[in-house]
Chain A
């Protein structure tokens, strides 16, 4: 759970998890443009672009986990894990899309499943699926790490950093499931 700024509001994003955002970020989600005063049009456009790039990647992750779950290659409890992580990505995508709209942008949409062209021919067993997912999660950590410094609105930086933390947990858990050191380094990059 992330404590950002006061006053804050808990956005329910799952059965047991919460995302706490600042009043400014929530106001943007609610479409309250008045509280976004002070943010220039150019900065707002740029923040929406950054969020949309992240949204595209989250939508792909949702589709990738769907492919993994439907592959028949995952056994419980790994299958339950994949479904849970997919749920997190759906929560990320929902928040990103709402914020893009609040900033006056048009959220990118999910592609048709076949248009993602996942390398399913290389997924022969559970370990292959886990490795594929772990690679995507690690990439997401790096992508958010590269995005956090760019936001004009620092509340969005905090929200993105919160998502980064979740992706990093996914990555570590998937590495553990593969029998690898779940936290190989002191820093991510």
Chain B
């Protein structure tokens, strides 16, 4: 039983992220996002720990506003799920992007967002 539980835990653990690789991967995001300003998508400054759908003045989809009203926040787990498939996690999101399917790439991106997006 302990072996099975341990195996299950290993199966869902996220790989460690590399922020340098993540910065290169962030080039995929810059059609719509930036760290410091709102564009087609909201800014990523202060993303980790931020309540979903909460950047003041940004026109979020109802789907993300609802998630925020329910108290959900962006952390490593929610970001990992969202980046894998935005439309599956929040149907109706305006981030109409198929997702980052590679777990290592997601970990790298999240690692970069944690570092670059830390609120000054």
Interface residues of A (CB under 8 A from B): 46, 49-50, 52-54, 56-57, 60, 116-117, 119, 135-136, 138-140, 142-143, 145-150, 189
The total of chain B residues at the interface (CB under 8 A) is: 18
Rounded to whole Å, the gap between the CB of A137 and the closest CB of chain B is: 9
In angstroms, Cα B37 to Cα A150, docked, is 27
Contact in complex: A56, B28 (CB < 8 Å): no
B66 sits at the interface (CB 8 A): no
In angstroms, Cα B107 to Cα A48, docked, is 31
Which residues of A sit under 8 angstroms from B31, Cβ to Cβ? 57, 136, 139-140, 142-143
* Listed stretches B7-15, B44-52, B71-79, B90-98; interface member: B90-98
Q: A57-B40, A150-B87 are in contact. Are A139 and B29 (CB under 8 A)?
A: yes
Interface residues of B (CB under 8 A from A): 27-32, 37-40, 87, 92, 94-99
Contact in complex: B98, A139 (CB < 8 Å): no
Q: Which residue of A lies closest to B39 (CB)?
A: A60
Contact in complex: B40, A60 (CB < 8 Å): yes
Q: Which residue of A lies closest to B40 (CB)?
A: A56
Which residues of B sit under 8 angstroms from A150, Cβ to Cβ? 87, 96-98
Secondary structure dominating the interface of A: helix
Which residues of B sit under 8 angstroms from A116, Cβ to Cβ? 39
3 cross-chain pairs, A with B, having the tightest CB-CB distances, nearest first: A139-B31, A146-B97, A142-B28
Which residues of A sit under 8 angstroms from B99, Cβ to Cβ? 146
Of the listed residues B31, B39, B87, B92, the one surrounded by the most CB atoms of chain A closer than 10 A to its CB is: B31
Which residues of B sit under 8 angstroms from A50, Cβ to Cβ? 96
Contact in complex: A53, B27 (CB < 8 Å): no
Q: List 6 A-B contacts (CB under 8 A).
A: A52-B94, A53-B32, A119-B37, A142-B31, A143-B97, A148-B98
Contact in complex: B98, A49 (CB < 8 Å): no
In angstroms, Cα B31 to Cα A135, docked, is 8
Contact in complex: A49, B96 (CB < 8 Å): yes
Q: Which residue of A lies closest to B92 (CB)?
A: A49
Q: Which residue of B lies closest to A139 (CB)?
A: B31
Q: Taking A52-B94, A135-B27 as given, write out 15 further A-B residue pairs in contact, using a Cβ cutoff of 8 Å, ordered by the A residue number.
A: A49-B94, A54-B96, A60-B39, A119-B37, A135-B30, A139-B29, A140-B31, A143-B31, A143-B97, A145-B98, A147-B96, A147-B97, A147-B98, A148-B98, A189-B28
In angstroms, Cα B65 to Cα A25, docked, is 33
Contact in complex: B32, A57 (CB < 8 Å): yes
Rounded to whole Å, the gap between the CB of A40 and the closest CB of chain B is: 14
Rounded to whole Å, the gap between the CB of B60 and the closest CB of chain A is: 13
Contact in complex: B28, A139 (CB < 8 Å): yes
In angstroms, Cα B31 to Cα A147, docked, is 12
Q: Which residue of B lies closest to A52 (CB)?
A: B94
Which residues of A sit under 8 angstroms from B29, Cβ to Cβ? 139, 142
